[in-house]
């Protein structure tokens, strides 16, 4: 029994390794098995995980060199990322949880948030957005006529995008 389980695990781990390698290589511009540390967040998230900024910060500390060089080596990244995938850490946010989050912010239950309200929440609460992130989100989310975000439609659109 254990032998079969081990074999199955080996296969899963081998697949994870290939998947991680693929995602890593796309950002390895110089083909020397390193990526810029600023791309690590993108790589981890492209593999389907959703760490918060705080969690990401800790992860980077784990994979960085003793003396940070600004680059992360694949040899250090691979085992850490494999663990994350095996343990199914940092699972993505389900659609309904996301919807409820918007509903919480929309205390008047209007079905939308005004542009100003969204900006206020995203740039002042939680792990605040940078100006660039805010502008990006607004450009796709805001309905220019009403200057508001109808979050239910927005979420539906985003979900279709991803699939």
Partner 1 sequence: MGCSSSSTKTRKSETSLKAALIIQNWYRGYKARLKARQHYALTIFQSIEYADEQGQMQLSTFFSFMFENYAHVHKEELELRKQSLESEQDMRDRHDYVDLIDVPDSYNGPRLQFPLTCTDIDLLLEAFKEQQILHAHYVLEVLFETKKVLKQMPNFTHVQTSPSKELTICGDLHGKLDDLFMIFYKNGLPSENNPYVFNGDFVDRGKNSIEILMILCVSFLVYPNDLHLNRGNHEDFMMNLRYGFTKEILHKYKLHGKRILQILEELYAWLPIGTIVDNEILVIHGGISETTDLNLLHHVERNKMKSVLIPPTETNRDYDTDSKHNKVGVTFNAHGRIKTNGSPIEHLPKHEWEQIIDILWSDPRGKNGCFPNTGRGGGCYFGPDVTSKILNKYQLKMLIRSHECKPEGYEICHDGKVVTIFSASNYYEEGSNRGAYIKLCSGTAPRFFQYQVTKATCFQPLRQRVYTMESSAIKILKERVISRKSDLTRAFQLQDHRKSGKLSLSQWAFCMENILGLNLPWRSLSSNLVNIDKNGNVEYMSSFQNIHIEKPVQEAHSTLVETLYRYRSDLEIIFNAIDTDHSGLISVEEFRAMWKLFSAHYNVLIDDSQVNKLANLMDLNKDGSIDFNEFLKAFYVVHRYEDLMKPGVTNLG
- Distance CA(151)–CA(99), nearest Å, equals 7
Sequence-ordered list of residues with C-beta below 8 angstroms from that of 118, at least 6 positions apart, any chain: 137, 138, 141, 142, 149
Give Cβ neighbours of residue 80 (< 8 Å, ≥ 6 apart). Answer: 59, 62, 63
Please state, in angstroms and rounded to a whole number, the distance separating the CA atoms of residues 63 and 57: 10
Residue from 50, 83, 110, 116 binding partner 1 (CB under 8 A): 50
Contacts with partner 1, 11-40, as mask; x by CB under 8 A: ---xx--xx--xx-xxx-xxxx-x------
Q: Taking CA 151 as the corner, what is the angle to CA 156 and CA 48, rounded to the nearest 5 degrees? A: 50
Q: Which is nearer to partner 1, 1 or 97 (CB)?
A: 97
By the rule CB under 8 A, 74 interacts with partner 1: no
Dist CA 40 CA 133 (whole Å):
17
How far apart are CB 29 and partner 1 at their closest, in Å? 7
Q: How far apart, in whole angstroms, are the C-alpha atoms of residue 67 and residue 86?
A: 28
| Nearer residue to partner 1 within complex by CB, 2 or 106 | 106
- Of residues 78-97, those binding partner 1 (CB under 8 A): 92-93, 97
Contact characters 125-154, partner 1, x per CB under 8 A: xxxxx---x--xx-xxxxxxxx--xx--xx
Q: How far is the CB of 83 from partner 1 (least distance, A)?
A: 19
What whole-number distance in Å separates Cα of residue 47 and Cα of residue 85?
Answer: 9
Number of residues that bind partner 1 (CB under 8 A): 61
Where do contacts with partner 1 occur on this chain (CB under 8 A)? 14-15, 18-19, 22-23, 25-27, 29-32, 34, 41-46, 49-53, 92-93, 97-98, 100-102, 104-105, 121-122, 125-129, 133, 136-137, 139-146, 149-150, 153-154, 157-158, 160-162
């Amino acid at each position: 029994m254990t032998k079969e389980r081990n074999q199955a695990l080996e296969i899963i781990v081998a697949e994870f390794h290939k998947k991680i390698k693929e995602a890593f290589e796309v950002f390895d511009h110089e083909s020397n098995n390193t990526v810029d540390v600023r791309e690590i967040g993108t790589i981890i998230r492209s593999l389907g995980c959703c760490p918060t900024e705080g969690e990401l910060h800790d992860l980077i500390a784990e994979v960085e060199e003793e003396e940070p060089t600004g680059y992360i080596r694949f040899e250090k990244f691979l085992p850490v990322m494999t663990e994350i995938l095996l343990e199914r850490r940092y699972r993505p946010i389900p659609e309904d949880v996301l919807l409820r989050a918007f509903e919480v912010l929309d205390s008047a239950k209007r079905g939308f948030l005004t542009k100003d309200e969204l900006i206020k929440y995203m740039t002042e609460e939680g792990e605040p957005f940078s100006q660039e992130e805010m502008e990006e989100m607004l450009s796709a989310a805001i309905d220019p006529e009403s200057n508001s975000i109808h979050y239910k439609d927005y979420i539906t659109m985003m979900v279709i995008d991803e699939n």
